[in-house]
Structure 1
Amino acid sequence: MRTDLDAVATAALEKYDFSEKATITLVNVSENVTYRVDDRRTGRSAALRIHRPDYHSKAAIESELCWMDALHEDGAVAPPRPLAARDGARVVTIADERGQERYVVVFEWLSGRAPSAEGDLVPGFRVLGSIAAKVHDHGSSWRPPASFDRYTCDYDTALGPKAMWGRWQEGLGIGPSERDLLARLDAEIGERLAEYGTGRDRFGLAHNDLRLANLLVNGDRIHVIDFDDCGYSWYLYDFATSVSFIEDDPRLPELKSAWLDGYTSRRALSAEDIAMIPTLVMFRRLLLVGWVGSHHEYAAEAAGLGAGFTVGTCDLAEAYLAGEYLA
């Protein structure tokens, strides 16, 4: 357990209307650290998120919450509601044991389960596609306030020298042959993305991590969670994120078809858009090689993937460069 952050979570709770009977339980460690809060006196539960330092600014986090509010109010999707501290702040600042300031947000706890990642994934991917289209429709028409500040996920921020999630060149298991192959992949991705461009019909405000794990199903209601990566990117990047870590699954063509069925039932795509899907999937996969390399020491998911993820990426790169991946 990340006991060094337990004190941060406990201190943050004191700024909210929880009783002294409230307890915290670690839920997840990834970019951020998430706890479940259970107040035994009131029966109230919440999700408490401690943000990774030097990732998103306070203004960027407040902008994330702003878009979640708008999505909820406009009925596009149903994200969790952020809770205000007693002083009205929705992003609170707590110093950790090293004296470093950490940003904390508390959300209402939503009941439900993520759709199963086992068995038949087709229905879930059709739902993902439909939800992505709703989110993109909203993001393309919504006018954010002047203070809105979210990052752009493009070639430079994902694969460039200062990649936000870690440089793939510093991934696990990168030797000379892997570096050469992935450099050719990198160059091809960069060229194709530049040709595709960032026109308003294909690039805009999106969730950027819309996986089955970030849906909660409760009866006939579906909630979309974890907007921490929301920002500006290619709209079809949301398909690429939906197949994160399963890019080599033999069912991928079927999952792509189901996602596109759901998406195009609400929002049109051109043949050029659809042709970019393999490139965007490999763009995401190469980003994740850097993510595994920079996160494996503390994120269990990255540690579990290890150097084998780079080996699998090289196999996919060869197929992609030969024009045989998702063709």
Structure 2
Amino acid sequence: MKQEIRDLFNERILTETAERYGIPRDQVHFLKDAENYVYEFKKDHRPYILRITHTIRRHPDYIMGELEWLNYLADRGLSVSRAVPSAKGNLVESIPADQGHFLAVAYEKAPGKTVGEEDWNETFFQTWGEYVGRMHALTKEYRLSHPAYKRQEWYEEDQLNLRKYVPSDQTRVFEKADQLMERIHQLPKSRDSYGLVHTDLHQGNLHWHEGQITAFDFDDIGYNWFMNDIAIIIYNVQWFPTVPYKDKAEFVRRFFTHFMIGYRRENDLDPWWYRHIPDFLRLRHMLIYGLFHQFMDLNALKEEEAEMLRQYRHDIEIETPVVRLDFTTIRER
């Protein structure tokens, strides 16, 4: 989180936010503060999640673009953490600060728990794929209610602008990044391949309960290719698997095979897109590299952090595959 946001947040903001939702301040319990302040509370014996951000980071209309799509999915039967109104009926509450405003949103808390080692198997992978396939099928019919609510396109992601954050002498990184962006810009877009998607549906952003997935944290939704939405999931599971693997390529092959079995139960995506997964994975690698430079103090790096950045830079400069796997050879069995 930006330090300027931390400097503006105080107890008065939190107390007033609680009042807007008709709950006592002492019933609001802190969970985390990464990109947003996140709390939990109960009302009428039901659990909710409270998210607070600042207008430095988000505009109210941009948040409404998230909430409208989220509740659209919920209204059509997809299990998501629906956004709920405040005591005055507002989906977004605006609380004045010394500078700008803090913006609060409440959500139903997802039932169940984080996926555990006992759940990390082919059945779960197929259910996950089926869930994402259903989300993609639904988004094909989605229409904005107001142009101001439009979310960003894939290339507008701030961290992809490496020249903004990465030292200017890394010319080889910029060259490879430009080439990758140009290749991806050439990909076709259609109703069946491109639309509003989650863009961060890793296993940490869903709960598993009685064989059903409920997704949450829709803060980063945007317009992207459906296969890139899937590739982001692949990137995360190979980087942070719930159960460690011995052979990364074999694990990703197994995961992707079963994920797509489930996916195709709900949505049809041409296997032609498999050939572009390596570039989508590189795009995510590049975005994470930009993210590290955005938030890390390059003058005070620990040795392991410096080594990680060196490895990322090396991978980008020589176009190292994120996973050494020929996805075009994989077909759903």
Residue in structure 1 matched with residue 81 of structure 2 by the alignment: 80
1:139/1:213 Cα in 2 relative to 1: closer, same or farther (>3 Å)? Answer: same
Shift of 1:275: 0.7
Shift of 1:72: 1.0
Q: Report the Cα distance in structure 1 between the residues aligned to 2:26 and 2:312, rounded to whole angstroms.
A: 48
Q: Report the Cα distance in structure 2 between the residues aligned to 1:145 and 1:17, rounded to whole angstroms.
A: 29
Residue in structure 1 matched with residue 33 of structure 2 by the alignment: 29
- Contact persistence 1:124–1:212 (CA under 8 A): no
1:321/1:217 Cα in 2 relative to 1: closer, same or farther (>3 Å)? Answer: closer
1:258/1:62 Cα in 2 relative to 1: closer, same or farther (>3 Å)? Answer: same
Shift of 1:45: 3.0
1:287/1:200 Cα in 2 relative to 1: closer, same or farther (>3 Å)? Answer: same
1:52/1:132 Cα in 2 relative to 1: closer, same or farther (>3 Å)? Answer: farther
1:77-125 CA distances to partner (integer Å, 9 max, x unpaired)?
21112222222111001133x3331111011223321213799465444
Q: Report the Cα distance in structure 2 between the residues aligned to 1:324 and 1:188, rounded to whole angstroms.
A: 20
- Contact persistence 1:316–1:325 (CA under 8 A): no
Residue in structure 2 matched with residue 326 of structure 1 by the alignment: 325
Residue in structure 1 matched with residue 16 of structure 2 by the alignment: 11
1:181-210 CA distances to partner (integer Å, 9 max, x unpaired)?
422431331232122132332211111111
Q: Report the Cα distance in structure 2 between the residues aligned to 1:270 and 1:55, rounded to whole angstroms.
A: 36
Could you tell me which of 168, 172, 189 is aligned with 2:162? 168
- Contact persistence 1:209–1:238 (CA under 8 A): yes
Could you tell me which of 199, 217, 228 is aligned with 1:226? 217
1:123/1:278 Cα in 2 relative to 1: closer, same or farther (>3 Å)? Answer: farther
Residue in structure 2 matched with residue 274 of structure 1 by the alignment: 274
Aligned alpha-carbon RMSD (Å): 3.2
Residue in structure 2 matched with residue 128 of structure 1 by the alignment: 128
Could you tell me which of 198, 201, 207 is aligned with 2:192? 201
SS of 2:159's equivalent in the other structure is coil
Q: Does 1:239 align with 2:230?
A: yes
Within 5 A, what are the aligned runs for 1:150-169? Answer: 150-155=150-155, 157-158=156-157, 164-165=158-159, 167-169=161-163
Q: Report the Cα distance in structure 1 between the residues aligned to 2:57 and 2:148, rounded to whole angstroms.
A: 16
- Contact persistence 1:33–1:51 (CA under 8 A): yes
Shift of 1:175: 8.4
- Contact persistence 1:239–1:259 (CA under 8 A): no
Q: Which runs of 5 or more structure 2 residues have no equivalent in the other structure? A: 240-247, 327-333
Within 5 A, what are the aligned runs for 1:176-195? Answer: 176=169, 179-195=170-186
Shift of 1:63: 2.2
Within 5 A, what are the aligned runs for 1:60-99? Answer: 60-75=62-77, 77-96=78-97, 98-99=98-99
Residue in structure 2 matched with residue 139 of structure 1 by the alignment: 139
SS of 2:149's equivalent in the other structure is coil
Q: Report the Cα distance in structure 2 between the residues aligned to 1:184 and 1:325, rounded to whole angstroms.
A: 23
SS of 2:140's equivalent in the other structure is helix
- Percent identity of the aligned residues? 20
1:210/1:117 Cα in 2 relative to 1: closer, same or farther (>3 Å)? Answer: farther
TM-score by length of 1: 0.81
Residue in structure 1 matched with residue 329 of structure 2 by the alignment: none
Q: Report the Cα distance in structure 1 between the residues aligned to 2:199 and 2:82, rounded to whole angstroms.
A: 19
Q: What is the total number of aligned residue pairs between the two structures?
A: 308
Residue in structure 1 matched with residue 242 of structure 2 by the alignment: none
- Contact persistence 1:114–1:216 (CA under 8 A): yes
Question: Counterpart of 2:162 in structure 1: which amino acid?
Answer: W
Q: Report the Cα distance in structure 1 between the residues aligned to 2:280 and 2:117, rounded to whole angstroms.
A: 22
Question: Counterpart of 2:312 in structure 1: which amino acid?
Answer: T
| Larger CA deviation: 128-137 vs 240-249 | 240-249
Shift of 1:264: 2.5
TM-score by length of 2: 0.79
SS of 1:129's equivalent in the other structure is helix
SS of 1:14's equivalent in the other structure is helix
Q: Does 1:317 align with 2:316?
A: yes
Shift of 1:244: 4.3
- Contact persistence 1:127–1:262 (CA under 8 A): yes
1:196/1:117 Cα in 2 relative to 1: closer, same or farther (>3 Å)? Answer: farther
Q: Report the Cα distance in structure 1 between the residues aligned to 2:218 and 2:159, rounded to whole angstroms.
A: 16
Shift of 1:171: 5.4
Shift of 1:285: 1.5
SS of 2:266's equivalent in the other structure is coil
- Contact persistence 2:197–2:223 (CA under 8 A): yes
Q: Which runs of 5 or more structure 1 residues have no equivalent in the other structure? A: 159-163, 298-302
Q: Report the Cα distance in structure 2 between the residues aligned to 1:257 and 1:320, rounded to whole angstroms.
A: 25
1:323/1:30 Cα in 2 relative to 1: closer, same or farther (>3 Å)? Answer: closer
- Contact persistence 2:282–2:322 (CA under 8 A): no
